[in-house]
Amino acid sequence: MTTTESHPVRIIASTGPGQPDRTPELDELYRGFENELLVPLWTEIGDLMPPEPRSAARPHAWRWRNLLPLAERAGALVPVGRGGERRAIALANPGLGGAPYATPTLWAAIQYLGPRESAPVHRHTQNAFRFVVEGEGVWTVVDGDPVAMRRGDFLLTPGWRFHGHHNQSDAPMAWIDGLDIPFAHLTGSAFFEFGPDVVDDHSTPGRSRSERLWAHPGIAPVSAAGRPTPSSPIAAYRWEFTDRALDDQLALADEGYPGVVEPGHAAVRFTNPTTGGDVMPTIRAEFHRLRPGTRTRTRREVGSAVYQVFSGAGQVRVGDREWTVEHGDLFVVPSWQPLTIESDTGVDLFRFSDTPIFERLHQHRVRVEDGSEGVDR
Amino acid sequence: MTTTESHPVRIIASTGPGQPDRTPELDELYRGFENELLVPLWTEIGDLMPPEPRSAARPHAWRWRNLLPLAERAGALVPVGRGGERRAIALANPGLGGAPYATPTLWAAIQYLGPRESAPVHRHTQNAFRFVVEGEGVWTVVDGDPVAMRRGDFLLTPGWRFHGHHNQSDAPMAWIDGLDIPFAHLTGSAFFEFGPDVVDDHSTPGRSRSERLWAHPGIAPVSAAGRPTPSSPIAAYRWEFTDRALDDQLALADEGYPGVVEPGHAAVRFTNPTTGGDVMPTIRAEFHRLRPGTRTRTRREVGSAVYQVFSGAGQVRVGDREWTVEHGDLFVVPSWQPLTIESDTGVDLFRFSDTPIFERLHQHRVRVEDGSEGVDR
Amino acid sequence: MTTTESHPVRIIASTGPGQPDRTPELDELYRGFENELLVPLWTEIGDLMPPEPRSAARPHAWRWRNLLPLAERAGALVPVGRGGERRAIALANPGLGGAPYATPTLWAAIQYLGPRESAPVHRHTQNAFRFVVEGEGVWTVVDGDPVAMRRGDFLLTPGWRFHGHHNQSDAPMAWIDGLDIPFAHLTGSAFFEFGPDVVDDHSTPGRSRSERLWAHPGIAPVSAAGRPTPSSPIAAYRWEFTDRALDDQLALADEGYPGVVEPGHAAVRFTNPTTGGDVMPTIRAEFHRLRPGTRTRTRREVGSAVYQVFSGAGQVRVGDREWTVEHGDLFVVPSWQPLTIESDTGVDLFRFSDTPIFERLHQHRVRVEDGSEGVDR
Amino acid sequence: MTTTESHPVRIIASTGPGQPDRTPELDELYRGFENELLVPLWTEIGDLMPPEPRSAARPHAWRWRNLLPLAERAGALVPVGRGGERRAIALANPGLGGAPYATPTLWAAIQYLGPRESAPVHRHTQNAFRFVVEGEGVWTVVDGDPVAMRRGDFLLTPGWRFHGHHNQSDAPMAWIDGLDIPFAHLTGSAFFEFGPDVVDDHSTPGRSRSERLWAHPGIAPVSAAGRPTPSSPIAAYRWEFTDRALDDQLALADEGYPGVVEPGHAAVRFTNPTTGGDVMPTIRAEFHRLRPGTRTRTRREVGSAVYQVFSGAGQVRVGDREWTVEHGDLFVVPSWQPLTIESDTGVDLFRFSDTPIFERLHQHRVRVEDGSEGVDR
């Protein structure tokens, strides 16, 4: 985004309803505005305040079959270490000027770690998570707690926790990182700090200490209970629990009981057990399962989301774009773009979004095809 | 509590510091107060406003070896049905005037259901739970959802849910009920309504529908997520999870990590996954495990608690009372009475209390032997 | 409340629906219960768990013309000082066994201070307020902040604040105290501590420091903003503001706009500006104004309330009792008793209640004559 | 922000610590990233994740003596009406690419209405306020409630309320608008709707209905009490109250009592009386008064702020910029830029900021010269 300091403002006289006639006096006024770093509302309001949200971000899909080879190639050419910090390659939404932003608020990247490699320790106030679409063998050490990364797991690194990764296996591993980097960057609100250059704890426990304390259903340690924390204390949400919860929902539906989002569509949200709310203040994370032959109702929502196909395949329509997606593919749903997902053979999808931002600011709104509309819960 | 309507008030002239000299004029004044249904503060303040809480309730222990035979005998003599509603026998604290109150706020009873018996459906705004110290074979049906009752399970019936029980086995079953009946009665705040005379759903699923939707660690159904409910949607907290969480805490302590309440003392709290808070607005429920050779720090707390020994044995001191307790025994800890528990051989204890009332009203206070004191979290 | 320690429990065998037939075996069982300090539910349930709340408290009215002379007489006979602490004379509800309880949760007393007298400093966790139905000249000093007491003012002494009073005038002054003493006493939850025997700050500012910081509409000091406190930081809610707010509501109604509770009935609630909620965790305080010719809808509410007539007169019906009340008269509305107030000439009423307790515990319920019913806001 | 659709991504190979050596293979990899709309973290991390916030916005000051004549000139040349909607001229931060953004989240504009002019009715989910640095005679009608605009007043138009303005006087009037337009635009989260082309209620009450219901200190109407609303129900915070609250703080300081922010520096925050929090979910508004001879401690804060001098004059330092400011001048403090204000003769300052966004997302942090640092209140 290059601006010339001397004339950062350029006012284009508009024509049409509500616009003044173009005259030499008006031009002179507009030059006066420019000199004083001023911009009139009346020339901008159509773009600035449209009837419904118009995100600069565009619907787009990235293919795992293209991403993974590039990540592997980066594994060969780009070392991991202090300074570069992570071998992470971010999705750059085509509407966002080349910035490494999946959406105006969210970062999504594929991260790759070769056999026996490790990534240095740092912390930042940006909230982060990882989702493992395939593979295993890496441990992420979060504030000293080693957390195994395995297929289907959803793993948290909430803001300001030191963390580094190390691959204890002889195979490379790739996974997805999600963060609120764009939001923090646009608002100038984040801090970053280096930790040790190497992770020193190379132990490989099956369960992290956080899970041993907190990942029991409806149960909290008395030593910490009753004190809500902004982010979840659970470092890993394991696939076996997610999978079972989805199966349970569909089985309940078969028996005639509520639970699923809509017929054939089960969905769970990962939550912070100390509040019942989202796992982190800026990021919502969910897992969706569509049975074979299911088509979701078309849905618009304030805020943006990124999906990754975990297994199966489906047809996705976002606004005027449509794709067939399969294992590992990622796609972006910009704010208020209508989304429909359909699957003949069934599909499992991981989803994350910036919804908590809008819910906390009372800006959230949902419109579903069936006519229901929710505002500002 | 008998009062004569004509003279409900009796003022006893006090002597001592801060009291007026007794004179005929004072007596006449006091008779005037009585006629107008008035009571002076100055004669009552010592009792009404002591330096520290003095509960009318007394420390007391009830023995399972005495309770169970009486319950069995009631099983032979007292039918279960509409009107009496439940074959429940309540602990009557010796300091509370013969009322069926374990403490000024809490009800605790042993309930007994013979083979193939069932208890009729009703609902009430009082919050209720059951804890199963032994046995199995009964299902409690809560708003139509059949919930298996098994050894070690903690089961919820939050206020205003229809519920009935039925024993599907050929053996009798006894368990503990806990409610906030005394609190509701003293404050005149509860409603009650009959449902069908018999439970009609006699199915015997291993997991309730509530568990299938909600009893996955840190996971909520999207169809209900983000909407806090006053009470937990989990109808049953199963022993296998409680037991594992306690084991995990002790193992973490062995490895040098935090989690236990104090050395040798693991404890978990049952929570509402939609808020992270207590399971019900008036009742806190916890499970405590003391390793062999452990002695707890002496602790006082505003509010009252009832404990039941689940397994093992220990020595308990509450105020000036001391008992050796074992499987099934119940004891009461009145507000601000110092409590110490010690066990040579290890002990598992279920505990419930009225703490949420005082936390929500900013009246909670804790004082621990080591000098720490917490006020009004 | 006298109980014989040896036999605190007496079970009366009941007859009727749901009760077992009386037999020698049953009697023996009941004696067994008594020996073990047990009480069956089936004999008690009708009283313990009625369909709708039945408070032990009764509707009752106390007359200012009787109260004030007794308080004056106490002023002559009973000194104020350390030990007795306050020359306060409490309303004793005829249904509550002679205890100085206006309702099961609330204390209401007339307090009297002669010319130049003062009351010693103490603090307690019980929440307290004063309402001034007439007179002026006393300052209450709350944690060192002198607060003038004047006609119509509502004054706070939230829990655990040191406070003493001193009369700087040559006339006596009487006012009403409200506290949550019964609630604290029944639950054994309160602490008390003596301060200095005399108030040392005898300054007489027109506004307290708390008002200068906090009693500006919608405005908070930045030095304290954004940190909610359990109780309001405003020590005095002045009559001029209350009066104007009530006038404004009625004028708005005249102009056709909403604001009043119902036609002819304006009402304001005193609130904690740091939360927007009630002034103290256990006590709600309001002021109601009925225009001449107004009759309120009949209303039942969970929780109890005490009213004092500030000016004017009216007819009050509470359950099956009915009174004509006027300046200074107090009356009690027990939980769920239907209340109707009617006034030909207009009436101003101060009201306080224990509603925050029930709202926080999700036990609040309201039923209004017009058929509307609200549960658990 | 121009991007070529065909190549929206351009990766510049970096050199230095943590960067791979530039080789033909690396260049080929980067071209592969570009083709797939991918950007590596390692080339961007220095800019994306700096140790401390680096806002793209720059400190800048706008002079009232320049703004007002331009607004007057616009009054002569640019009509107000449907389509253009408002004669508002926005501050364009020199670091933000020419967009009409005072900061990355906040809009600040001078709005101008000639004698007898009016601005059409619309609503939008963006939160808005007005601050009146001088003049009077305009009424803003918010959801049908006419609100007088007078010198020193702070006026609210929370999101989704219909509003229009009309000047009832024979003099023009100019004031400042503040909104969260940039935040809503960047995140694609806002809705907009036209109302009537003209305001139909031309009445000119001195107080709005909202003030008559809500602008009494610590007092809420019972008909609406206990139901928190996302934004304040008070449409106008009048200067007389603001002024008095500031005077009171300084007088308290003179008497030795707390209240001011620091010596010589009084400050009040405008709050939502239903919650005690900020007036609107995205905007904080405050008024600051510095006594003659006062210098504030240097302070950094996450989030951005805009100040307008109401009266007096002072020296302001923001980062490496420094200005002398006086009546009507506006200046911007980007996120984490150190701010110091000093005044020899005393100065009154209106301030608004986006702090609620960061507090609600647990991203707020403050660092004050004296070493104190606050995180995540």
Query: How many other CB atoms are found less than 10 A from the CB of residue C198?
Result: 14
Chain D: closest CA distance from residue A373 (Å):
14
- Separation between Cα atoms, residue A362 and residue D281, nearest integer Å: 7
- For C94, which of B8, B87, B190 is closest by C-beta distance? B8
- Separation between Cα atoms, residue A292 and residue C370, nearest integer Å: 52
- Separation between Cα atoms, residue C329 and residue B346, nearest integer Å: 62
Q: What is the largest CA-CA distance in chain C?
A: 75
Q: Name B99's Cβ contacts closer than 8 Å, sequence gap at least 6.
A: B92, B93, B182, C39
- Separation between Cα atoms, residue D127 and residue D105, nearest integer Å: 12
Residues of chain D in contact with residue C272, where contact means CB-CB under 8 angstroms, are 218, 276
- Separation between Cα atoms, residue B123 and residue B192, nearest integer Å: 6
- At B8, the pLDDT band (50, 70, 90 cuts) reads confident
C280: closest chain B residue by CA: B361
Q: Is D226 within 8 Å of C277 when comparing Cβ atoms? A: yes
Q: How far apart are the first and last CA of chain D?
A: 36
- For C53, which of B3, B190, B361 is closest by C-beta distance? B190
- For A268, which of B220, B274, B279 is closest by C-beta distance? B220
- Separation between Cα atoms, residue B67 and residue A327, nearest integer Å: 61
Q: Rounded to the nearest 5°, which phi and psi values hold at C267?
A: -155, 140
Distance set, CA C296 to CA A140, C304, C332 (Å): 66, 18, 17
Between β-strands C60-62 and C38-40, what pairing exists: parallel, antiparallel or unpaired?
A: unpaired
Give the angle D8-D12-D18 at the CA atoms, nearest 5°: 130
Q: Is C185 within 8 Å of B360 when comparing Cβ atoms? A: no
Residues of chain B in contact with residue C54, where contact means CB-CB under 8 angstroms, are 188
Given a contact as 3+ CB pairs under 8 Å, which chains touch D? A, C
Per-residue pLDDT of chain D (377 residues; tens, 9 = 90+): 334 455 688 998 878 777 899 999 999 999 999 999 999 999 999 999 999 999 999 999 999 999 999 999 999 999 999 999 999 999 999 999 999 999 999 999 999 999 999 999 999 999 999 999 999 999 999 999 999 999 999 999 999 999 999 999 999 999 999 999 999 999 999 999 999 999 989 999 999 999 999 999 999 999 999 999 999 999 999 999 999 999 999 999 999 999 999 999 999 999 999 999 999 999 999 999 999 999 999 999 999 999 999 999 999 999 999 999 999 999 999 999 999 999 999 999 999 999 999 999 999 999 998 767 775 43
Query: How many other CB atoms are found less than 10 A from the CB of residue D22?
Result: 12
- Separation between Cα atoms, residue C168 and residue C201, nearest integer Å: 11
Q: Is B249 within 8 Å of A221 when comparing Cβ atoms? A: yes
Q: Is C29 within 8 Å of B73 when comparing Cβ atoms? A: yes
Residues of chain B in contact with residue A372, where contact means CB-CB under 8 angstroms, are none
Which candidate, A237, A256, A259, places its Cα nearest to that of A247?
A259
C230: closest chain D residue by CA: D276
Chain C: closest CA distance from residue D179 (Å):
20
Q: Is B221 within 8 Å of A259 when comparing Cβ atoms? A: yes
Given a contact as 3+ CB pairs under 8 Å, which chains touch A? B, D
Q: What is the largest CA-CA distance in chain A?
A: 75
Q: Is D259 within 8 Å of C220 when comparing Cβ atoms? A: no
Chain A: closest CA distance from residue D242 (Å):
26
- Separation between Cα atoms, residue A214 and residue A219, nearest integer Å: 7
Chain D: closest CA distance from residue A187 (Å):
6
Picking from C207, C223, C257 by the largest number of D CB atoms within 10 A of its own CB, the best residue to mutate is: C223
Do the beta carbons of residue B186 and residue C182 sit within 8 Å?
Answer: no
**Is the C-alpha dihedral spanning D180, D183, D187, D188 positive or negative?**
positive
- Separation between Cα atoms, residue D42 and residue D40, nearest integer Å: 6
Picking from C145, C211, C216 by the largest number of D CB atoms within 10 A of its own CB, the best residue to mutate is: C216
Do the beta carbons of residue A346 and residue A275 sit within 8 Å?
Answer: no
The three-class DSSP label of residue D244 is helix
- Separation between Cα atoms, residue B119 and residue B196, nearest integer Å: 10
- Separation between Cα atoms, residue C168 and residue C147, nearest integer Å: 12
Chains A and C in direct contact, meaning 3 or more beta-carbon pairs closer than 8 angstroms: no
Q: How far apart are the first and last CA of chain C?
A: 36
Average pLDDT over residues B343-365: 98
- For A18, which of D81, D92, D190 is closest by C-beta distance? D81
Q: What is the gyration radius of the CA atoms in chain A, in angstroms?
A: 23
Residue type, D72: E
Bridge partners (DSSP) of residue B155 are B130, B236
Do the beta carbons of residue A36 and residue D167 sit within 8 Å?
Answer: no
Chains B and D in direct contact, meaning 3 or more beta-carbon pairs closer than 8 angstroms: no
Query: How many other CB atoms are found less than 10 A from the CB of residue B202?
Result: 12
Query: Which residue in the block uniquely carries the two structure tokens 């005038």?
Result: C169
Chain B: closest CA distance from residue C373 (Å):
14
- For C74, which of B29, B85, B181 is closest by C-beta distance? B29
Chain C: closest CA distance from residue B368 (Å):
16
Q: Name C370's Cβ contacts closer than 8 Å, sequence gap at least 6.
A: C297
Residues of chain D in contact with residue A73, where contact means CB-CB under 8 angstroms, are 29, 32
Residues of chain A in contact with residue B353, where contact means CB-CB under 8 angstroms, are none
Given a contact as 3+ CB pairs under 8 Å, which chains touch C? B, D
Give the angle A47-A6-D353 at the CA atoms, nearest 5°: 55
Spell out where A56-172 has E strands.
60-62, 88-91, 107-113, 118-124, 128-131, 136-142, 145-150, 154-157, 163-167
Q: Is D276 within 8 Å of C234 when comparing Cβ atoms? A: no
Q: Name C68's Cβ contacts closer than 8 Å, sequence gap at least 6.
A: C110, C174, C328
3-state secondary structure chain C: CCCCCCCCCCCCCCCCCCCCCCCHHHHHHHHHHHHCCEEECCCCHHHHCCCCCCCCCCCEEECHHHHHHHHHHHHHHCCCCCCCCCCEEEECCCCCCCCCCCCCCCEEEEEEECCCCEEEEEEECCCEEEECCCCEEEEEEECCEEEEEECCCEEEECCCCCEEEEECCCCCEEEEEEECHHHHHHHCCCCEEECCCCCCCCCCCCCCHHHHHHCECCEEECCCCCCCCCCCCCCEECHHHHHHHHHHHHHHHHCCCCCCCECCEEEEEEECCCCCCECECCEEEEEEEECCCEECCCEEECCCEEEEEEEEEEEEEECCEEEEEECCCEEEECCCCCEEEEECCCEEEEEEECHHHHHHCCCCEEEECCCCEEECC
> How many CA atoms, within 13 angstroms, populate the side-chain half-sphere of residue D191?
18
- Which pLDDT belongs to residue C14? 79
Q: Is C188 within 8 Å of B38 when comparing Cβ atoms? A: no
Residues of chain B in contact with residue A222, where contact means CB-CB under 8 angstroms, are 261, 267-269, 286, 288
Q: Is D222 within 8 Å of C273 when comparing Cβ atoms? A: no
Structural domains of chain A ordered from first start: 1-49 (no CATH), 60-214 (2.60.120.10), 236-375 (2.60.120.10)
pLDDT at A9 over 80: yes
Picking from A363, A375, A376, A377 by the largest number of D CB atoms within 10 A of its own CB, the best residue to mutate is: A363
H-run or E-run covering D352: strand D347-353
Given a contact as 3+ CB pairs under 8 Å, which chains touch B? A, C
Average pLDDT over residues A97-123: 97
Q: Is B104 within 8 Å of C188 when comparing Cβ atoms? A: yes
Chain D: closest CA distance from residue C176 (Å):
20
Written as six digits, the tokens of A125 are: 């106030």
Q: Is D271 within 8 Å of C227 when comparing Cβ atoms? A: no
Chain B: closest CA distance from residue C319 (Å):
15
Residues of chain D in contact with residue A78, where contact means CB-CB under 8 angstroms, are 20, 26, 29, 40, 42
- For C1, which of B1, B36, B100 is closest by C-beta distance? B1
- Which pLDDT belongs to residue B135? 97
Q: Is B362 within 8 Å of C23 when comparing Cβ atoms? A: no
Written as six digits, the tokens of D261 are: 């922010």
Per-residue pLDDT of chain C (377 residues; tens, 9 = 90+): 334 455 688 998 878 777 899 999 999 999 999 999 999 999 999 999 999 999 999 999 999 999 999 999 999 999 999 999 999 999 999 999 999 999 999 999 999 999 999 999 999 999 999 999 999 999 999 999 999 999 999 999 999 999 999 999 999 999 999 999 999 999 999 999 999 999 989 999 999 999 999 999 999 999 999 999 999 999 999 999 999 999 999 999 999 999 999 999 999 999 999 999 999 999 999 999 999 999 999 999 999 999 999 999 999 999 999 999 999 999 999 999 999 999 999 999 999 999 999 999 999 999 998 767 765 43
- Separation between Cα atoms, residue B145 and residue B213, nearest integer Å: 12
